[in-house]
Amino acid sequence: MNQVIDISPSGATKPVKVIAVTGGKGGVGKTNVSVNLSIALSQLGFKVMLLDADLGLANVDVMLGLPSKHNLSHVLSGECELRDIVIHGPHGVQIVPASSGTQNMAELSAVEHAGIIQAFSEIGQNLDFLIVDTAAGITDMVVSFTRAAQDVLTVVCDEPTSITDAYALMKVLNRDHRITRFHVLANMVRSSQEGREIFAKLSGVCNRFLDVTLNYLGSVPQDENVRKAIKKQKALVEAFPRSPASIALKSLAKKVQQWPMPKDASGHIEFFMERLVAVK
């Protein structure tokens, strides 16, 4: 039975750090990074919300064994409000589930995407982080949620298609939406050297053709415990806290907590935009 979290408006004006986790290509471990980063940040004492922004093929709730009665499709249909669908995840992480196998959710308009983003303003609880787990590809949905975040964390792995798709996504976000800064995480690597080589490949092509700054976050090693944790429907950092990938993901959380808030609003629709304005 879902336990709905009480997040009635409290008048909080503290800005929320919003991070979009993306990658272009599917299968790079993006959702696993999103889930474990969220829990690792929570373990550090932060209040964290995780949005499953793969609206048509959602799987965060399934990955954690948290079947949800209501999701974002019910918010869009007017059956309930956003705060009614938020559920408890591991270590206090609040999860906003999306729907799975619903084609019309994957084909929402830009106005509907904006409506979801603005709906987060009703959440008055004093959150520290919102982690947005985007879908694969370079769809309007991915672009809408990514450009509404303050930081973009791009997950790549050692496959030519991963580098190509990550570059293509960055190209769209940079040229069409003026996003100039990307954080890069190499995932499922066989060595730290391999991670650096993956970043060098991506950085090389970006430096040639785009006006962007890339920040290398390091790498997460290939780890059999990731598969075991998924089979258990548990987060890796809880199921196998001392595993190599867990240690790397906890290190990632410590880096992320130090990222500064932006000095100015971006000029387009953002999550919790009114809080950015309020603190100026």
Range from 61-65, 125-129, 162-166 carrying the lowest mean pLDDT: 125-129
Q: What is the pLDDT of residues 37-51, one digit of tens each?
A: 999 999 999 999 999
Q: Is the pLDDT of residue 118 over 60?
A: yes
Q: Is the pLDDT of residue 91 over 70?
A: yes
Q: What is the pLDDT of residues 7-58, one digit of tens each?
A: 434 444 678 899 999 998 889 999 999 999 999 999 999 999 999 998 878 7
**First CA to last CA distance, the chain:** 42
Q: What is the pLDDT of residue 6?
A: 40
Q: What is the pLDDT of residue 129?
A: 95
**Mean pLDDT in residue range 156-163:** 95
Q: What ranges in the chain are assigned the alpha helix state H?
A: 30-43, 60-63, 72-76, 82-85, 103-106, 110-119, 140-147, 160-177, 192-209, 224-232, 236-239, 244-256, 273-278
- Regarding pTM above 0.85, the answer is yes
Spatial separation of the C-alpha atoms in residues 38 and 107, rounded to whole Å = 27
Q: What is the pLDDT of residue 102?
A: 67
Mean pLDDT for the chain?
A: 88
Q: Is the pLDDT of residue 155 over 90?
A: yes
Q: What is the pLDDT of residue 7?
A: 42
CB 15 within 8 A of CB 279: yes
